[in-house]
């Protein structure tokens, strides 16, 4: 009776198919008549684990002592296992090929004054170096468990193909693929990845490390004469273009010269820049070294041409907004030639100060009232007073307030400000009335900062720069005077571009020096 009760409970908890895997024997009863199911001849344990495979040599896969056998690929459990065992590989390659390409760098450096013209040297390159491409290094995160050394190399070649098209074919299928050496570095430990045993040792060492990061260098011996390191350091961007060209040439068998369009444009741009710089800064026929040029849009502006300005000029020629004789009237070019502005040595101090202040807004602050009273006139209109005073165009965020004239602004003679300005302005009075500009204190700094940004060639629609300055608490140009706490690096960390940060600090320092100079002059004269 007890046995039948126990059997009913078992049937209520499990299905018939599940019971077929087991043989139940009840106490003091005979054997169960249910025969166990036969073990399947195919498959491995169940659908959760990978089936065993017979692999030999370098085709063997690395296993994990914490999970053996590995979970079946594609399952949620296997994906979680792979995520928990990710390892970093920083891939670099330095591959010499049997092909050569020319590195065209015509007059890439700034021509020296008085230097003669020399024939352009054509340098050769037969090295594919990852340092000359993109960011210079490639990082990939994978779980090496369940992969053979052959599969690992195919994964690396695939990532190199994404890094630079054509690299997978060079690493796996080129004539010198068998000569490539896969060198690994982890701290002070260096090894050569050639077979399964070294691959297994590498994965175990990575698993025990803290950072779980390895540097992988793919290189070979030079099949031709090794290029000089000093020459490669000078080529810069041209080396990157030549490296891409070499990859295309190597994949194409070297029969065609596939030069990138970007390389052609930059070489043409350098040629135009060198021609302009030579014409206006070097050749004696046009004035010789140190020739003073005049800006076409401002006959009173004189400057000497620098190579940086010549490069911007060349960009304008390519964009068809300038010619070889007329420079571009762009903010970049004006900012660059402002650095090399020429001032006559016989010019006096007063004229120099006027020249520095030329074009910059100046105003008198003597009649400004230090308080703002609500009910002022509207903004952006032009009105006339009933006396001799006359109002000009009103700037944004500046209010016009009617003030009755008094002999002296004292406590006995207070200032009366009318809020209903329309009726008062149209009423004739015996005494004349004057108009005074009152700047809103909350907006005075913003107006001054906007004028400062305009001098720094910051566009009016550049909201990003203004937002960064506002969040940094910068309300006036005096907050941008360089100091130990405020440097170019400080502004770039806050989100400003390096060029804009340099421009703001340079202009603020120039204004500060000018104010200090004027104070010294006034002190001496007084």
What ranges do the domains of the chain cover?
A: 1-39, 76-251, 263-342, 369-439, 443-525
- Beta carbons of 146 and 72 less than 8 angstroms apart: no
From the list 179, 204, 178, the residue with the least C-alpha distance to 191 is 204
Q: Among residues 420, 332, 405, 312, which one has the least CA distance to residue 367? A: 405
CB 228 within 8 A of CB 124: no
Q: For residue 526, what are its two tokens?
A: 């007084």
Please tell me the least confidently modeled range out of 55-64, 420-429, 515-524.
Answer: 420-429
Task: Give the pair of three-digit tokens for residue 331.
Answer: 């903010």
- Summarize the confidence of residues 287-304 as an average pLDDT: 78
Beta-ladder partners of 129: 94
The answer to whether 426 touches 336, Cβ cutoff 8 Å, is no
pLDDT, tens digit (0-9, with 9 covering 90-100), for 166-176: 888 888 888 77
The architecture CATH gives domain 443-525: Orthogonal Bundle (1.10)
More confident residue, 496 or 120: 496
Given a contact cutoff of 8 angstroms between Cβ atoms, the answer to whether 125 and 242 are in contact is: yes
Local structure of residue 310 (DSSP, 8 states): H
pLDDT(383) > 50: no
pLDDT band at residue 474 using 50, 70 and 90 as cut-offs = confident
pTM score: 0.36
Which of 128, 156, 130 shows the shortest CA–CA distance to 142?
156
Look at residue 437 in the predicted model and tell me its pLDDT.
45
Question: Is residue 281 pLDDT above 80, yes or no?
Answer: no
Query: Is-contact 508 477, C-beta < 8 A?
Result: yes
Q: Which range is least confidently modeled, 234-248, 286-300, 407-421?
A: 407-421
| Distance between CA atoms of residues 183 and 177, nearest Å | 14
Higher pLDDT, 351 or 237: 351
| Three-state SS letters, 98-112 | EEEEEECCCCCCCCC
| Cβ atoms 206, 64 nearer than 8 A | no
Q: Residue 250: which of 98, 95, 94 has the closest Cα?
A: 98
295 SS3 class: strand
Average pLDDT rounded to a whole number, residues 387-404: 45
Q: What's the pLDDT at 274?
A: 84
Residues 509-519 have pLDDT tens digits of 888 888 777 66
Average per-residue pLDDT for the chain? 69
Q: How far is CA 70 from CA 51, 87, 153, in A?
A: 9, 17, 21
The mean per-residue pLDDT over the stretch 372-395 comes to: 42
Contacts of 35 (CB under 8 A, 6+ apart): 20
The H-or-E segment that residue 314 falls in is helix 307-318
pLDDT number for residue 184: 92
- Count of C-beta atoms within a 10 Å radius of residue 457: 15
Between residues 68 and 35, the one the model is more confident about: 68
Cβ–Cβ < 8 Å for 87, 166: no
11-23 pLDDT, tens digit each:
454 444 444 444 4
Question: In the structure encoding, which two tokens stand for residue 445, read together?
Answer: 């700094």
- Between 356 and 507, name the one with better pLDDT: 507
d(CA 272, CA 468): 38
More confident residue, 415 or 185: 185
Other Cβ atoms closer than 10 A to 149:
25
pLDDT bucket at 143, cuts 50 / 70 / 90: very high
Q: What is the helix (H) or strand (E) element at residue 151, kind and residue range?
A: helix 149-163
| Partners of 128 in beta bridges | 95
Residues 291/113, Cβ–Cβ less than 8 Å: no
**pLDDT at site 348:** 66
- Is residue 314 pLDDT above 50, yes or no? yes
Q: Given a cut of 50, is residue 475 above it in pLDDT? A: yes
Per the DSSP assignment, residues forming a β-bridge with 67 are: 64
Structural contact between residues 95 and 128, judged by C-beta atoms closer than 8 angstroms: yes
């Amino acid at each position: 009776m007890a046995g039948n009760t126990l059997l009913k409970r078992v049937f209520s908890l499990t299905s018939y198919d599940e019971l077929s895997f087991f043989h139940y024997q009840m106490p003091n009863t005979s054997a169960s008549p249910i025969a166990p199911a036969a073990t399947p001849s195919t498959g491995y344990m169940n659908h959760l684990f990978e089936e065993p495979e017979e692999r030999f040599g370098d085709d063997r896969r690395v296993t994990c002592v914490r999970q053996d056998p590995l979970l079946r690929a594609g399952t949620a459990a296997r994906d979680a296992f792979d995520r928990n065992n990710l390892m970093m590989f920083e891939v670099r390659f330095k591959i010499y090929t049997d092909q050569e390409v020319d590195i065209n760098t015509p007059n890439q450096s700034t021509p020296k004054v008085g230097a003669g013209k020399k024939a352009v040297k054509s340098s050769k390159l037969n090295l594919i170096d990852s340092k000359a491409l993109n960011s210079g290094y490639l990082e990939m995160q994978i779980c090496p468990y369940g992969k053979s050394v052959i599969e690992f190399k195919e994964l690396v070649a695939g990532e190199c193909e994404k890094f630079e098209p054509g690299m997978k074919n060079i690493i796996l299928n080129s004539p010198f693929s068998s000569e490539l050496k896969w060198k690994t570095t982890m701290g002070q430990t260096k090894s050569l990845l050639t077979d399964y045993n070294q691959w297994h040792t590498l994965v175990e060492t990575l698993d025990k490390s803290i950072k779980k990061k390895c540097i992988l260098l793919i290189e070979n011996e030079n099949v031709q004469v090794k290029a000089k390191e000093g020459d490669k350091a000078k080529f810069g961007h041209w080396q990157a273009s030549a490296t891409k060209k070499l990859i295309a040439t190597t994949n194409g068998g070297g029969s065609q010269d596939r030069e990138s369009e970007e390389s052609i444009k930059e070489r043409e741009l350098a040629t135009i820049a060198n021609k302009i710089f030579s014409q206006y800064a070097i050749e004696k026929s046009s004035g010789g070294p140190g020739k003073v040029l005049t800006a076409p849009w401002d006959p009173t502006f004189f400057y000497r041409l620098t190579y940086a300005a010549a490069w911007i000029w060349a960009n304008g020629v390519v964009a068809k907004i300038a010619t070889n004789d007329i420079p571009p009237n762009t903010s970049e070019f004006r900012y660059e030639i402002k650095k090399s502005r020429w001032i006559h040595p016989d010019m006096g101090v007063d004229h120099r100060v006027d020249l520095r202040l030329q074009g910059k807004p100046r105003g008198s602050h003597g009649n400004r009232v230090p308080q703002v009273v609500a009910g002022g006139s509207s903004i952006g209109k032009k009105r006339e007073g009933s006396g001799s005073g006359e109002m000009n165009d009103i700037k944004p965020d500046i209010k016009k307030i009617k003030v009755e004239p008094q002999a002296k602004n004292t406590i006995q003679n207070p200032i009366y400000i009318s809020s209903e300005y329309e009726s008062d302005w149209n009423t004739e009075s015996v005494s004349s009335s004057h108009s005074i500009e009152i700047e809103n204190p909350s907006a005075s700094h913003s107006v001054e900062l906007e004028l400062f940004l305009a001098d720094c060639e910051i566009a009016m629609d550049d909201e990003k720069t203004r937002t960064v300055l506002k969040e940094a608490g910068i309300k006036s140009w005096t907050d941008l005077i360089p100091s130990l706490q405020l440097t170019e690096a400080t502004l770039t960390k806050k989100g400003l571009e390096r060029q804009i940060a340099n421009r703001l600090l340079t202009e603020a320092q120039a204004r500060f020096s000018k104010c200090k100079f004027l104070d010294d002059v006034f002190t001496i004269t007084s």
